Structure 1
Amino acid sequence: MPSARTDLDIFAAGLADRLPGAWTSEYHRHLTYPDQFPVAVQIWDTGHVSYVATGFVLGHDAVLHGPDQQHLYLADRPRYPHQFVVAPLEPDDAAIKPHHFDGVEEPNGIVVPNDPARAAALIARRVLPRYEQARQAVRRNAAEQPEPPHRQAPPQVAGRPSTTCTVGPPTTRESSANRSPPGTPVTASVTGPSRSTVRARPPS
């Protein structure tokens, strides 16, 4: 008989203890499917981890907080009881704006085993270097161009005043499937205050 899934909160704490530098873990339990969106839209990934975080009812997740405002998302990998998914979160800095991510490649996340020591070694080798490179690129963009580029005003038509249109921030459309059990795949269109639309693909 296969063994039960490792508890996420226990695994997150063990993983934080083994990552390089000082890390702590923060465990979240979600009563409804939309509760997982506020963190999910911050995931700096355009592949498998974003697909898991937005396409399944997970029931819980964890965030690891590290040195120099590094943050990692951690969740169960649905249908794989011996694995977890981990990915960086976008910088949480008021000075960082959507245009600062232009031209910066997402660091993306990976699948890790339920062994904290092995998982920490994989993250240190495959995730943290890409994460740091992406963060430095975003910071350079913020320093070089704090404000978004100005658009040229539209030409005025004789006899008519020019008009402008202000577009508000995107909204999050919550799925009605918020009572589904954890691990259930959900078809939903999720948008939020993130800089880009999540492009999800199924796991290989």
Structure 2
Amino acid sequence: MALADRFLTLGRDVHSGEVLARGGDPEAHSILQRNGFVPVARLHETYHRLPVGLDEAEEKRLAARAVARLRAVKYGVDTDDVFDTEMREPHYLPLGSSVAYLAEQIRDATTSDEVADALTELTASHDGVLIALGEVLAATAAFYQDLGQPPDPHTAKRLQYLAEHRLAVLWSDLAHMRNGLADRHQDHPPAQRVHRRGRTGRARSLRRLRLPATPAAPDHHSRRRSCRTGTHAALIAPFPPEEPMHDPTPDTSLGSFAAVLAGELPGAWTSAYHRDRGGLNTHHVLTDAVWDMNEVAEALAKHPVDHCAVLQRHDGTRLFVTEQPGPAEGYLIAALAPDDVPAEAFRGVREPDGIAVDADPFSAAENITFDLLPRYYVAAHQVFKNAEHLTRESSAEERLVMTWSDGALVVDKPDRADITRVLTDHGFVLDTARAVLVLPGDDTARQAASVRATGERLSALGIGTVLRHPPTRPALDTTPVAPPATSSAPSALRR
């Protein structure tokens, strides 16, 4: 560890007003965290801050205590005067040191029996370290379940998942490794022991530590009472090591995977599982809407979908979930194209191709949030923009042109009978020879009233009215210049 890592700065930031600690090594960071500081990871640095919502007196107490504990183990701390202290609190070994000492025992082991003894502390079915960790996860899950904020039940569900699927698999594998080593009674090759003796300063110091005795385990009845408390007591049920190894594969059935995934995605999502129809493939309505031209589309083209799930958010965003074909364990997830959008709106828009994820809803939620959904937002925005443009074009207001001619208003005879009827109802007269309708201008007041009434009725039909003057006529005794003959050669530039 670099010498610079033995120095820290701790003080109130002049810009944010937060109490921040910068510098130090992992041991110093652990001391800060045990004094209430929260780690903050930025792009170019990692520092610690006190939690939000503390009053000034509590901030002073926690900061001064952190300074005292850091200096007690020979860290240099540059701090504000208000946090400076001459106190030096005694430094006790944390609980993690007892577990870390097992690693030192394994490094120094000469036989498989010694390693089996060390692993027993981890895997003991009644009071092993992993069983105790399961109790911690269960208690934390129960705490979150009743905490009252909207995200809290999802956090409790995640803790339950970690205890049931992640921790249980770890315990099972280590327990069977321990049992196998206990049966081998094999010496470890001395050359390999020498090779493994390269240790960090922390490991060498742990060898010399005299650890406190392991506290006595609670009796059977108190253990059962503790197991019955909390809603997640089933998470900490011991795993008998003498039983055959259970299947470590977590319950990742499609319906369960989609339900947990819906709770991990940002926003309010619902999950709908579309089960197998007994060989009758009725899922083509969904697969046809999959917005993908890559891996997911290829899989759907080659393999029929027996069952699938659809996640939907309150804003209409939908995700299609199906199993990966073949022996692969995992799922394919793709966005579904927006509903009620004309096909022409998708022209020129790149598909937000789907992704393949492992059978872990939590890592899948991260992949969706930071990979799939951003591409979907870009594509959907362009599609909706195109659809809006198409709607404006299709719903462009039809216009009826009235042209002035010697005081009268002339309208070409419309193709629609209802428009013709509106015009004739308000004084327009059909001139069959010219195929036009004419509104005389003998009475200009009446003519204006007729135009207003006609415009109101046509507007109710979605038709606008435009009044135009006739094109300018050539002056007397002049002849209009005839337009040049059409030619395939480029026309000359006009001056």
TM-score interval for Structure 1 and Structure 2 normalised by the shorter chain? 0.5 to 0.7
Partner of 2:270: 24
Mark the structure with the bigger radius of gyration.
2
* Counterpart among 254, 257, 261 of residue 8 in structure 1: 254
* TM superposition shift of 1:33: 5.1
* TM superposition shift of 1:80: 3.8
| 8 A contact 1:15–1:116 mirrored in 2 | yes
Partner of 1:36: 283
Moved more, 20-29 or 3-12: 3-12
Unpaired segments ≥5 residues, structure 1? 150-204
Question: How many Å separate the matches in 2 of 1:46 and 1:5?
Answer: 30
Question: How many Å separate the matches in 1 of 2:392 and 2:280?
Answer: 35
* TM superposition shift of 1:145: 1.6
Partner of 1:86: 333
Question: How many Å separate the matches in 2 of 1:76 and 1:147?
Answer: 41
For the aligned residues, what is the CA RMSD?
2.1
Matched, 1:124 2:375: no
| 8 A contact 2:281–2:305 mirrored in 1 | no
Going from structure 1 to structure 2, the CA distance change for 1:18 and 1:4 (only over 3 Å counts) comes to: closer
Code of the residue aligned with 1:48 in structure 2: it is E
* TM superposition shift of 1:99: 0.4
Secondary structure of 2:311's match?
A: strand
Partner of 1:51: 298
Question: How many Å separate the matches in 2 of 1:117 and 1:146?
Answer: 40
Question: How many Å separate the matches in 2 of 1:87 and 1:78?
Answer: 15
* TM superposition shift of 1:78: 1.3
Code of the residue aligned with 2:353 in structure 1: it is N
| 8 A contact 1:86–1:111 mirrored in 2 | yes
Give the helix-richer structure, 1 or 2: 2
| 8 A contact 1:6–1:82 mirrored in 2 | no
Matched, 1:146 2:391: yes
1:103-118 → structure 2 map (5 Å cutoff): 103-118=348-363
Code of the residue aligned with 1:104 in structure 2: it is V
* TM superposition shift of 1:144: 1.1
What is the CA deviation profile of residues 54-80 of structure 1, one whole-angstrom value per residue up to 9, with x for unaligned ones? Answer: 321332100000131100000000124
Question: How many Å separate the matches in 1 of 2:309 and 2:325?
Answer: 15
Partner of 1:199: none
* TM superposition shift of 1:146: 2.0
Aligned length: 147
Going from structure 1 to structure 2, the CA distance change for 1:148 and 1:113 (only over 3 Å counts) comes to: farther
Secondary structure of 2:391's match?
A: coil
* TM superposition shift of 1:4: 7.7
Question: How many Å separate the matches in 1 of 2:336 and 2:305?
Answer: 18
Going from structure 1 to structure 2, the CA distance change for 1:67 and 1:132 (only over 3 Å counts) comes to: farther
Question: How many Å separate the matches in 2 of 1:117 and 1:5?
Answer: 14
Code of the residue aligned with 2:302 in structure 1: it is G
* Counterpart among 382, 386, 393 of residue 137 in structure 1: 382
Moved more, 112-121 or 30-39: 30-39
| 8 A contact 2:281–2:306 mirrored in 1 | no
Partner of 1:68: 315
Question: How many Å separate the matches in 1 of 2:327 and 2:359?
Answer: 10
Secondary structure of 2:370's match?
A: helix
Going from structure 1 to structure 2, the CA distance change for 1:148 and 1:104 (only over 3 Å counts) comes to: farther
Query: Normalising to structure 1: TM-score of the pair?
Result: 0.67
* TM superposition shift of 1:11: 0.2
Query: Normalising to structure 2: TM-score of the pair?
Result: 0.28
Going from structure 1 to structure 2, the CA distance change for 1:12 and 1:109 (only over 3 Å counts) comes to: same
Code of the residue aligned with 1:6 in structure 2: it is T
Identity between Structure 1 and Structure 2 (%): 37
Q: Which has the higher contact order (CA 8 A, sep 6+)?
A: 1
* TM superposition shift of 1:30: 2.9
Unpaired segments ≥5 residues, structure 2? 1-246, 395-495
Secondary structure of 1:69's match?
A: coil
